[in-house]
Amino acid sequence: MSDTDEFPAFPNARPDRDYRDMHDRVEEIAAAVRALQIDALAKDEQIQENTDTLDIVQQRTENMQIELSALKAQVNSDARSLANRVEAAVEAQSIDTKIASALEGHFTKERLVWAVQPLVSDALSLVVQNQVDMESKLRDINRRLDGLASELKPLASEIQLPPWGVDSTQIGSSSAPDVPPSSPQPPPVERALSVREQVERRVKERSLALGGGDRVRTGDN
């Protein structure tokens, strides 16, 4: 195809090669513009994605700041609580030291024996009184049992019981009754100390251990 076919001849003009070059240049510019538009759209999408990512990062940063603030407050609270507990422990230790020092300076063994003796004597008197009350109750029970036995004795003479080992249906038979088996004799039992004697012995041993055996009082004095 010749130049005259694409660009027809105008009157008094020849095919304008410059115009064709300009047309090609315009096409190239248009193609470059379209490429720039496509690139701009792609970059705009990328910018939008970056903006969304930045919003997410900003939101996470704010959440982390809130969590860090709460954590900081918790740490400060725990630190204050620990400091208070340490201060209380130090104060308690100081009080214990002062009490121990006061006890050591004012309560010697003799003073302790003097202070404990009335308490031990009162406890011993209470134990002795309880033992007396228990013995009185036992004597009353024995008196009641004796009275009951005396009331049942006339009735026992009127009741005929069969011999040992003989059935009640064989009372009239001539067979000899069985001899009851002999029960083994229990071994002799040693007399145990009474509650009062046990308490007195323990009080004396405690007093001797503290060095004040001559000051111990019992229920007898």
Cα 112 to Cα 103: distance, rounded to the nearest angstrom = 10
pLDDT in tens, 125-156: 888 888 888 888 888 888 888 777 777 666 65
Q: What percent of the chain has pLDDT over 90?
A: 0
Cα 77 to Cα 71: distance, rounded to the nearest angstrom = 10
Q: What one-letter code names the amino acid at 184?
A: P
Domain boundaries, the chain: 3-99, 107-156+194-221
Of 26-40, 99-113, 124-138, minimum mean pLDDT range: 99-113
Residues 107-145 as b/e (b if ≥16 CB within 10 A, e otherwise) read: eeeeeebeebbeebbeebeebbeeeeeeeeeeeeeeeee
Query: In sequence order, what DSSP letters do the residues of 27-38 get, joined into one string?
Result: HHHHHHHHHHHH
Cα 166 to Cα 156: distance, rounded to the nearest angstrom = 19
Q: Can you read off the two tokens belonging to residue 162?
A: 């069969």
Mean pLDDT value across the chain: 71
- Contact present, 177 and 165 (Cβ < 8 Å): yes
- The pLDDT value recorded for residue 112 is 64
Give how far Cα 183 sits from Cα of 155, 165, 180, 186, 187, Å.
28, 15, 9, 9, 12
pTM assigned to the model: 0.29
Using the predicted structure, report yes or no on whether residue 99 has a pLDDT greater than 50: yes
